[in-house]
Structure 1
Amino acid sequence: MVVGELTQERDVMVIGGGPGGYHAAIRAAQLGRQVTIIEKNKLGGVCLNEGCIPSKVHTTAAQSFQRMGSFQQLGLDTSGVTFDLPRLQEHKKKVVEQLLQGVVALCKANKIEIIEGEASFISPTKIGVENGHQYDTFTFNDVIIATGCNKKPIAEMHHHALTPTSIWNLEELPNELILYGNDDFTLEAATTFNSLGSIVTLIFPPEQHEFTFDPSINKELQRQLKKQKIKVYKTHTTPQFKFDENQWEVALELGKNESVILESSHLYCAEEREPSTESLGVQRAGIHLNEEGFININEACRTNIASIYAIGDITEGPALAVKAIKQGKVAAENIAGHQSECDFTFLPRIVQTIPPIATVGMTEASAIENGFEVKIGESTLQTNGYASILGQKEGFSKTVTDAKTDMVLGIHMMGAQAVEMISTGTLALEMVARQEDLLFPSYPHPSVNESMWESVEDLEEKAIHKAPRVTKQKVTSS
């Protein structure tokens, strides 16, 4: 190790160049600060290089492949369409590389310095950066921690098991695929590989037998998995996993003295977050952590040390890129002297399954648990004109409101265009919209957007494309 003779001075340092980190860096540079990013791997982080973008290349391919039948209805001959996984991998690499070069170019345009290496705190005001045999030290005016987290499998696994990142690097489509988990990434992988031709089995871990969406989406998702012939098992104990040469054997205990042994060529295991603060040296900086080891921050993304901020997966809350991006901008704006804060009460959640899922706000169940008198409206895509044109009539829109004030509490969608439409729901919730606020505007026709409109109309039983509710009438004898 070669130690630099002098401690170098920097203005704003960002540790980690993932989506949160590079957004923070660019926003700070826009506001006149001199910025340095320290990145030990690649700019863009796991999201760009291994996670969000690579996985969505695959889910998009699967969704398009699944739509081949509806393309034929539009007069397009798709009878000879086949799926080529190696070609998709080439496309994925091209997309990732183009986006990566775009981030590099933006950092260069904003005069952001990039330092390769692994950073750790020496003190509350000093950072060391190690890169091979080179070791340099820096002082700073402000620093943003955007290092993300380590991931560990939710069960003890053989190294041949696929992970939420390695599964998107397969060069050959699995004949059989068993997935252990029930989180969003697992659901995306299940419907994606099923659509592309794998025989998929989904195993829910103990105490995770239910989906965590609105009850209406949970019910429809179960129906979709059954329709797509994805077998679902709910195990009461951690399965026994055995790998022998090229074959997996999974032994399940299903309760009531029922057991089953499954075999598969491929096995996937979901992961959970594990804070990686020790290697970062947060103790030497005096940074406070919560009981789970995540860095404590306030609404300005500031830690207990005034000049140190933290964003993204290293902080408490959902491990979502949208959260990291928002936090990165807020941290940079506060560093530049602006008053800015985060509030993730209405954080949209999207899952690129088949069909896609998008939700924001309270579910019907959570609204009731929070003491609201709930009123709901639903609209099926079966009666939506544009969904019929697309040949994508699976799904619905649901609006949850407070019956006393008509305030919108949550919006939940499943089906075509759901991911794009949820921004409307997020904006409505942020603006404390009421039922009339979503009824007043004109919605384009024909469009899937009309399903949201009709779900709001259904709150008062005024949805045009929905038959009146049947009420039983008393029959009295004369």
Structure 2
Amino acid sequence: MSTYDVAVIGSGPGGYVAAIRCAQLGLKTAIIEKYSTMGGTCLNVGCIPSKALLDSSHHYEDALKHFEDHGIEIPGEVKLNLEKMMGRKATVVEQTTKGIAFLMDKNKINTYEGVGSFKDKTHINIASAEGEDVTIEAKHTIIATGSKPSSLPFIDLDKERIITSTEALKLKEVPKHMLVIGGGVIGLELGQVYKRLGAEVTVIEYMDRIIPTMDAAQSKELAKVMKKQKVKFALSHKVTAVENTGDEVVIKATDKKGKEVEFKGDYCLVSVGRKPFTDGLEADNAGIKINDRKQVEVNEHLQTNVENIYAIGDVIKGAMLAHKAEEEGVFVAETIAGQKPHIDYNLIPGVVYTWPEVASVGKTEEQLKEDRVEYASGQFPMRALGRSRASGDIDGFVKILTNKETDEVLGVHMVGARVADLIAEAVVAMEFRASAEDIARMSHAHPTYAEAVKEAALAATGDRALHV
């Protein structure tokens, strides 16, 4: 029987990063993955393939609608080859997952393909697809089994017409009318992909605004832009029934006045969030506590009630974000090695990869009001930037929220071109407890989108923005 210092169950961003960090720290490490490729949901059917399709569909839309503005004329008709687009996405996924396998070899991490389950707190059974079981021993185990798409109790996910994000990433035709249940990150990103490719798209959302966990100003701006892109929204609608009638999906919902409304389309994407995946772990054999939400319960050290077993990522409480899982993977590896790492969950950014992109870190304006924090706000529109006008990406803004007394930055919220990358500046500033004045005093290259951060900081320090 092989014995390890650490065994990691699950090879998603949290799991594989945890394994690499453990190996770097001199711990003999094994990683267990039930699928034939590594990378978990994110790399196989989540972050990476969705971004590949977002980029490809963006190029297609630019060729159809925007190249002419730049003086680029394409002779003949611009045509969509969906099969080739999906093929490119598959190639990106394959390259990325092979990259993870390379990193496992490079770091001398032993990999096992199969379903990992606990025999007891130090022994893990691995059931392979071929039916051959292997048992390994581990001094410490990290559970990183991730999540899977959620649904509503009355919805029958047939995976043909009524689909999740997994199926939406490999459709063989562009829907005529895609109905999207849920106005969160996944629904908006994939909805925009298929809108660009020619589908009619209707987003049905239970709350009164899209991306409801982000700052309300971001919700309002993104909704305004996507409406200009001809995406339809039915907000404050509670879905009560979803039926596949053959070539059509019929959704029944009630609006905020209690009136029944019906929607019809040829595909329905159910994107109402994700839920922790703990099936098959046999957690009871190790005495691990799992709560009613199927989350593995952990303490502030991400340690379960069984002292040598930890859990990270989507399978525990908190935002279901790949980079959150990565931070937790490093945190646990260093904890096992006897170090004293830390994570500030307030400084883990959230991003929506629509175009324009949406990015956020720290407290929203609504949270500050709820907490009765006296704050100042500075906002700068992207359309006032020379760089935005040059690229034609004039939608959006940067908003900086500060403590009114100390000027410390409490939250930064952005909508615009490349803000998914730009948010890192805000995270750095907040990690070092910078003030808006600190950011305003920094030189930002011209012309760049980043100048909007400086201008918003100037606005937050007393209406000092220079270019509005």
TM-score normalised over the length of structure 1: 0.91
Structure 1 contact 301–342 (Cα < 8 Å) conserved: no
Structure 2 contact 376–402 (Cα < 8 Å) conserved: yes
Q: Distance in 2 between matches of 1:281 and 1:207?
A: 40
Mean CA deviation greater in 325-334 or 72-81: 72-81
Q: How far apart are residue 208 of structure 1 and its match?
A: 7.3
Paired position in structure 1 for 2:49: 54
| 1:284 equivalent in alignment to 2:275 | no
Structure 1 contact 357–414 (Cα < 8 Å) conserved: yes
Paired position in structure 2 for 1:470: none
Taking the TM superposition and a 5 Å limit, the aligned residue runs for 1:175-186 are 175-186=176-187
CA 1:248 to 1:39, structure 2 compared with 1: closer, same or farther past 3 Å?
same
Paired position in structure 2 for 1:157: 156
How many positions carry a matched residue from both structures? 460
Structure 2 contact 437–458 (Cα < 8 Å) conserved: no
| 1:44 equivalent in alignment to 2:36 | no
Paired position in structure 2 for 1:319: 320
Q: Distance in 2 between matches of 1:210 and 1:123?
A: 42
Structure 1 contact 214–412 (Cα < 8 Å) conserved: yes
2:42 counterpart SS class: helix
1:140 counterpart SS class: strand
Q: How far apart are residue 207 of structure 1 and its match?
A: 7.6
Q: How far apart are residue 260 of structure 1 and its match?
A: 3.1
Structure 2 gaps of 5+ residues are none
Taking the TM superposition and a 5 Å limit, the aligned residue runs for 1:23-102 are 23-41=17-35, 42-68=37-63, 69-78=65-74, 80-102=77-99
Identity of aligned residues (%): 34
- Residues 212-233 of structure 1: CA distance to partner in whole angstroms, max 9, x if unpaired? 3212112212212321222211
Mean CA deviation greater in 29-38 or 270-279: 270-279
**What is the root-mean-square deviation in Å for CA atoms of aligned residues?**
1.9
| 1:112 equivalent in alignment to 2:109 | yes
CA 1:77 to 1:93, structure 2 compared with 1: closer, same or farther past 3 Å?
same
Structure 1 contact 143–307 (Cα < 8 Å) conserved: yes
- Residues 292-349 of structure 1: CA distance to partner in whole angstroms, max 9, x if unpaired? 3312223432223222111111111111101111111111122222222322111100
Q: Distance in 1 between matches of 2:410 and 2:223?
A: 24
Q: How far apart are residue 187 of structure 1 and its match?
A: 1.1
Q: How far apart are residue 166 of structure 1 and its match?
A: 1.0
Q: Distance in 1 between matches of 2:116 and 2:427?
A: 36
Q: Distance in 1 between matches of 2:256 and 2:294?
A: 35
Paired position in structure 2 for 1:475: none
Q: Distance in 1 between matches of 2:294 and 2:199?
A: 39
Taking the TM superposition and a 5 Å limit, the aligned residue runs for 1:203-352 are 203-205=204-206, 211-234=212-235, 236-256=237-257, 258-277=259-278, 279-352=280-353
- Residues 392-431 of structure 1: CA distance to partner in whole angstroms, max 9, x if unpaired? 1111111111111111111111011111100001111111
CA 1:306 to 1:78, structure 2 compared with 1: closer, same or farther past 3 Å?
farther
Paired position in structure 2 for 1:188: 189
Paired position in structure 2 for 1:168: 169
Q: How far apart are residue 235 of structure 1 and its match?
A: 5.2
Q: Distance in 1 between matches of 2:256 and 2:438?
A: 49
CA 1:119 to 1:223, structure 2 compared with 1: closer, same or farther past 3 Å?
same
Q: Distance in 2 between matches of 1:166 and 1:128?
A: 31
Structure 1 contact 300–340 (Cα < 8 Å) conserved: no
Structure 1 gaps of 5+ residues are 1-6, 467-478
Paired position in structure 2 for 1:471: none
Paired position in structure 1 for 2:381: 380
Q: How far apart are residue 209 of structure 1 and its match?
A: 7.0
Q: Distance in 2 between matches of 1:247 and 1:374?
A: 50
Give 1 or 2 for the bigger CA radius of gyration. 1
Paired position in structure 2 for 1:146: 144
